[in-house]
């Protein structure tokens, strides 16, 4: 097979599918590589244990791509409050949508809902070709074309190849874009739980010495949880009986919503940090987790990825209007300049939070012992946290603005 298009996107997860749809709607011919088309069926009977807390800017991007409505028809839960604390009675930080004049602070959406809603639109787009079974073995640049050579000698070429193939990006590896990685020495335990007293449309975040526990509201009485803790404790939480897991979790949440009871499976994901040194090369760009992976505290990963896709889109449209090659290094550098600083800033802010509350932080121990708690010392960071949660303080690409 010899296939040629304007843009090849490797990876059709949340970020790659968003990029493919955005590019196709602007008239680019897109080839999308993804091992399998995700299921579009929806019964809503059970919950996906992987969810995303989407900012209002991500909502706007997905609205502008005509995806939001179908996500809401499946399941998307708006949350109006966020409550951050370390120990009951030791100060807490609460912020509400009404404080910032917004109807909500964002939505919690299952990853499979986001992916299925994007792919539903993709299937209606005649200028996206989905290729499922290709194993890329090398990537070469020839003139103004980037060529993907497959293990069966098929060649796919395009002016631009976008790596949206996640943290273990093979595009990044094959073109030799280096990335620094490190482990947080934590795993994130994820599952869905039912709350005895309902979720109060509130995202709860407790900072414990072992790591943060996030309770993200779903419907009225469920939470999707991300409990970041040591790998040993994570494994023991996953393997514990439901009864003892429920007990430990309810205690860890200080029963702010009453007893919590697990529904369905539990899993633990190792938490790693990754920063690609460069996001672009002649004819190649990285977006989403292929370029940056951050701590799931405050759930920002996919929001940054959507901003990458939307910003790259702006740059490509501008290049086309000026008759520049969309794969030219000068063009792609504009994307990198627009996104890398913000991604690094959010990454550092999340690391700052994590370290501030970690076990071996002497300043925090003192704060705790003095009984001052989270509120006093977090307030300088509070506004930053709000801005990050709301997706503010960033150059907003066209798709992130209300059309």
Ligand X SMILES: Cc1cc2nc3c(=O)[nH]c(=O)nc-3n(C[C@H](O)[C@H](O)[C@H](O)COP(=O)(O)OP(=O)(O)OC[C@H]3O[C@@H](n4cnc5c(N)ncnc54)[C@H](O)[C@@H]3O)c2cc1C
Q: Tell me which of 7, 33, 97, 234 binds ligand X, using CB under 6 A.
A: 33
| Minimum CB–partner distance for residue 16 and ligand X (Å) | 5
How do strand 155-163 and strand 2-10 relate by DSSP bridges?
A: parallel
Cβ contact 349:388 at 8 Å:
yes
Token duo for residue 276: 């690609």
| Minimum CB–partner distance for residue 184 and ligand X (Å) | 10
Cβ contact 46:16 at 8 Å:
no
| Closest residue by Cα to residue 53 from 391, 395, 330 | 391
Q: Give the neighbor-by-neighbor strand order of the sheet with 260-276.
A: 92-96, 81-85, 202-208, 211-218, 222-229, 179-195, 260-276, 292-293
User: Which range of residues in 152-160, 163-171, 231-239, 313-321 is near ligand X by CB under 6 A?
Assistant: 163-171
| Minimum CB–partner distance for residue 75 and ligand X (Å) | 15
When asked if residue 156 is in the footprint of ligand X (CB under 6 A), the reply is: no
Q: How far apart are CA 182 and CA 197, in angstroms?
A: 39
Cβ contact 401:314 at 8 Å:
no
Interaction residues for ligand X, span 3-32 (CB under 6 A)? 10-16
Q: Tell me which of 22, 24, 67, 226 binds ligand X, using CB under 6 A.
A: 226
When the beta carbons of 67 and 226 are compared against ligand X, the nearer one is 226
Total binding residues toward ligand X, as defined by CB under 6 A? 30
Q: Tell me which of 6, 165, 314, 336 binds ligand X, using CB under 6 A.
A: 165
When asked if residue 391 is in the footprint of ligand X (CB under 6 A), the reply is: no
When asked if residue 52 is in the footprint of ligand X (CB under 6 A), the reply is: yes
For every residue of 310-361, DSSP letters joined together read HHHHHHHHHHHHTT--TT-HHHHHHHHHHHHHHHHHHHHHHHHHHHHTSTT-
Q: How far apart are CA 268 and CA 295, in angstroms?
A: 14
Q: How far apart are CA 140 and CA 155, in angstroms?
A: 10
| Minimum CB–partner distance for residue 108 and ligand X (Å) | 7
Q: Tell me which of 91, 106, 188, 211 binds ligand X, using CB under 6 A.
A: 188
Q: Tell me which of 105, 128, 158, 164 binds ligand X, using CB under 6 A.
A: 164
Q: Tell me which of 7, 61, 302, 394 binds ligand X, using CB under 6 A.
A: 302
Q: How far apart are CA 256 and CA 263, in angstroms?
A: 18
When asked if residue 48 is in the footprint of ligand X (CB under 6 A), the reply is: no
When the beta carbons of 11 and 327 are compared against ligand X, the nearer one is 11
Q: Give the neighbor-by-neighbor strand order of the sheet with 106-110.
A: 51-54, 106-110, 77-79
| Minimum CB–partner distance for residue 384 and ligand X (Å) | 17
When asked if residue 373 is in the footprint of ligand X (CB under 6 A), the reply is: no
| Minimum CB–partner distance for residue 214 and ligand X (Å) | 8
When asked if residue 229 is in the footprint of ligand X (CB under 6 A), the reply is: no
When asked if residue 286 is in the footprint of ligand X (CB under 6 A), the reply is: no
When the beta carbons of 283 and 301 are compared against ligand X, the nearer one is 301
* CA end-to-end distance (rounded Å), the chain: 40
Token duo for residue 403: 């059309």
Token duo for residue 386: 């709000």
| Minimum CB–partner distance for residue 134 and ligand X (Å) | 7
| Minimum CB–partner distance for residue 294 and ligand X (Å) | 8
Q: How far apart are CA 336 and CA 267, in angstroms?
A: 34
Token duo for residue 260: 């919590």
Q: Tell me which of 303, 325, 343, 347 binds ligand X, using CB under 6 A.
A: 303
Q: How far apart are CA 143 and CA 345, in angstroms?
A: 35
When asked if residue 53 is in the footprint of ligand X (CB under 6 A), the reply is: yes
When asked if residue 90 is in the footprint of ligand X (CB under 6 A), the reply is: no
When asked if residue 281 is in the footprint of ligand X (CB under 6 A), the reply is: no
Binding residues for ligand X (CB under 6 A): 10-16, 33-35, 51-53, 164-166, 170, 188, 190, 226, 269, 288-289, 296, 299-303, 305
């Amino acid at each position: 097979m010899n296939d040629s298009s304007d843009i090849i996107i490797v990876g059709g997860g949340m970020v790659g599918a968003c990029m493919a749809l955005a590019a196709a709607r602007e008239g680019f011919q897109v080839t999308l590589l993804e091992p399998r088309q995700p299921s579009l069926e929806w019964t809503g009977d059970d919950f996906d244990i992987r969810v995303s807390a989407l900012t209002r800017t991500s909502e706007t991007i997905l609205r502008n791509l005509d995806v939001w409505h179908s996500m809401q028809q499946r399941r998307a839960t708006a949350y109006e409050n966020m409550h951050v604390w370390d120990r009951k009675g030791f100060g807490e930080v609460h912020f509400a949508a009404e404080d910032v004049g917004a109807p909500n602070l964002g939505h919690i959406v299952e990853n499979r809902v986001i992916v299925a809603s994007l792919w539903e639109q993709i299937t209606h787009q005649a200028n996206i070709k989905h290729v499922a079974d290709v194993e890329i073995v090398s990537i070469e640049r020839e003139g103004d074309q980037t060529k993907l050579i497959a293990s069966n000698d098929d060649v796919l070429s395009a002016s631009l190849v976008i790596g949206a193939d996640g943290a273990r990006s093979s595009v990044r590896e094959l073109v030799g874009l280096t990335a620094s990685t490190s482990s947080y020495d934590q795993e994130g335990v994820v599952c869905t739980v039912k709350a005895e007293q309902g979720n109060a449309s509130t995202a709860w975040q407790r900072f414990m010495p072992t790591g943060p526990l996030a309770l993200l509201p779903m419907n009225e009485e469920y939470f999707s949880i991300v409990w970041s803790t040591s790998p040993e404790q994570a494994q023991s939480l996953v393997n514990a009986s439901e009864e003892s897991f429920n007990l430990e979790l309810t205690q860890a949440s200080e029963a702010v919503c009453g007893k919590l009871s697990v529904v369905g499976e539990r899993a633990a994901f190792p938490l790693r940090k990754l920063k690609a040194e460069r996001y672009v090369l002649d004819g190649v760009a990285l977006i989403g987790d292929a370029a940056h992976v951050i701590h799931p505290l405050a759930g920002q990963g996919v929001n940054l990825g959507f901003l990458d896709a939307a910003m790259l889109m702006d740059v490509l449209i501008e290049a086309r209007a000026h008759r520049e090659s969309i794969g030219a290094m000068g063009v792609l550098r504009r994307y990198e300049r627009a996104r890398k600083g913000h991604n690094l800033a959010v990454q550092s802010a999340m690391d700052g939070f994590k370290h501030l509350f970690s076990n071996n932080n002497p300043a925090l121990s003192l704060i705790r012992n003095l009984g001052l708690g989270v509120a006093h010392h977090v307030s300088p960071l509070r506004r930053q946290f709000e801005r990050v949660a709301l997706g503010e303080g960033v150059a907003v690409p066209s798709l992130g603005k209300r059309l």
